[in-house]
Structure 1
């Protein structure tokens, strides 16, 4: 059977992509196939996505992708799955597998294949992700456009060289965890000042949502927006002075650097 798109791996990332693509009317549900090895997960996917074909991994060789394959599996299984994708005649592949270079994927194909690597982050689950894409040695502008059209259904997409994907991993790939840690700390700080945990959580989450929206929509820099909140000798200045005194800025620099280096190590 021929499908517009074959997605290998129906976990959280694969499911998020299918949701985004169908909501964006990228193609009809009947033109999408999901390959998922876990029986229970296949059942859940069939219930969730009416019209989408859901098959087990071993059935992949009976599928023919007309535009390409999306690889959404764990790194340990990726090269083996790529070999099966090659067997089904795939000539274009979008990989969201961390640490697996385009060269390693290309090596398992007997014929030339356009490999686009992507590093999305978990907010793709709610259509607000940040993804970077990078092309392998056989990729054309049309291949990058294809990959971007898929990932833009679940958020923002930027294009980088493959050598910068480790930095993307350290910044936006791991970034949600850094921000969740800040949210945790701010909620706890509110509790320490006498607020209930629920009230503190509501205020902090709304503060993050509103601040992100203002930064995205105002066209002003974060420095300008911070200055607008900070009156000389005021409460915000006192709080910022404490943060700077604790070297919070340096801690973020080191966190991104450490995550970037770890990404490099895992890719070797």
Structure 2
């Protein structure tokens, strides 16, 4: 498990592109028959990817790093499948997972495994995990069951549909909030006008992009913005002090996960366009 440490915004002002990518970009989460994880000290998120091809993979953490016998001994986890059909088994119960289905697993689950239905079109399980203090039930939400929220307009190049999975009005958790945003064809901008939320941090995973497509992800303090070029199936760590917005060379989909002091989706500090620099 790779470890990333938190950064002060004054320090980040002096980072070049290579250093920004080293600290905030997660480039290689998905590989055949691997479970790859990054532990960031930003709200103690663990971000990971699992691609089972022809065999079952088990959710296991580094005992030295986690200080626990099992991965979910003191954690909760949200998992979204961005690949082909698969299944997640939690302590003997099997949850079939279509593309874009979500599964929340609460504190204390011991045995979690991942499998694909077809090795030629494997599932790709993306997950966010954070510390938990109470056990909530394991719940699956198919994308067909999620309530879509349509926002934006083609005039502003941000017509999109937001699906909330783990949130105060849906699947209950200790502090994890998780969902997905799909931009419609011809739309490229997300989260603009932008915002920060000092009470929680956020992770973005970009996917459903052409092979040669990129997203220019905006980050940094509102008056000290930076950008990173992000490709398909790469993730970005967004600290609480940073904006998080992006524009792509085409439409795309992204998963957002948050953890911190509260779970109120609307709790954000809006940044006026005139204040961006």
TM bucket by the smaller chain? under 0.3
Between Structure 1 and Structure 2, the one with more strand by share is 2
Larger Rg: 1
The two structures have a TM-score, normalised by structure 2, of: 0.26
The two structures have a TM-score, normalised by structure 1, of: 0.27
- Greater relative contact order (Cα 8 A, min sep 6): structure 1 or 2? 2
Between Structure 1 and Structure 2, the one with more helix by share is 1
